[in-house]
Amino acid sequence: MGLKVKHMRNTRTKDLIFEAFVELVNEKDFEKITIQNVTVQARINRATFYSHFQDKYEFLEKSTMDSAIELIHGQTGGICVFTEEKIRKLVHVVFKYHQQVKTNCHRSYKSITPLLRKQMIQALQSYFNSCLHHMCVDDFTFYSQMYSTMIYDAVNLRLTEQTSLSEAEIADKMVHLIGSSRPFIVDSQTPLIGQEH
């Protein structure tokens, strides 16, 4: 019972810190936000902040990674399979990830895009690693890194207006590229390859 209460308290404190950051980052650039700004906004003391995060950069890294993982899990249901539908959903995840960050951190969005790229590719790679490892694919780490980078960078071309392709057209191209690189992708009508992990 005590552990559950402590976990709930920790979760609530982290929520307060996150909410404070979102409010502050809409008023000023991330670089100009101080820990004191955050603690005053969240109505917590500095020791409480530092019991959860080393500094604001660790907070940003953790929150962007948590967001990426949460979005992937939400779109895939946590089930690692290789289908056209799942590839399309992962393309959608990258678009949604950027939309969320742009909405919540519009003043600092451009300055944190390198971090967003790193975190989302890492989260995608973790998903692909689970899928391909379970399927006993040789060199699964190579393929998971390649697919993750391909999907992220394809979406980024649209976000940076280097292509006029729509989200659906980008998803079509990713399905084709990933499908042609290895014969283990299946269409949505075929029984799923892979299992829940």
**Each residue of 41-80: pLDDT tens digit?**
999 999 999 999 999 999 999 999 999 999 999 999 878 7
91: confidence class by pLDDT, cuts 50, 70, 90 = very high
Give the pTM. Answer: 0.82
pLDDT at 22: 87
Classify domain 1-53 by CATH architecture: Orthogonal Bundle (1.10)
With 80 as the cut, is the pLDDT of residue 36 above it?
yes
CATH topology of domain 55-197: Tetracycline Repressor; domain 2 (1.10.357)
pLDDT at 157: 96
Contacts of 69 (CB under 8 A, 6+ apart): 123, 126
Could you tell me if residue 85 is left (phi over 0), alpha (psi between -120 and 50 degrees) or otherwise beta?
Answer: alpha
Name the segment(s) of the chain with CATH classification 1.10.10.60: 1-53
**pLDDT exceeds cutoff 70 at 101:** yes
- Given a cut of 70, whether residue 197 has pLDDT beyond it is no
Measured distance CA(193)–CA(83) in Å, rounded: 8
Label residue 167 by pLDDT band (50, 70, 90).
very high
Q: What pLDDT is stored for residue 185 in this prediction?
A: 55
Sign of torsion over alpha carbons 71, 74, 78, 80: negative
Three-state DSSP state, 176: helix
Q: Which parts of 26-181 fold into alpha helices (H)?
A: 35-42, 46-52, 56-76, 84-104, 109-134, 140-159, 167-181
Domain with CATH 1.10.357 in the chain: 55-197
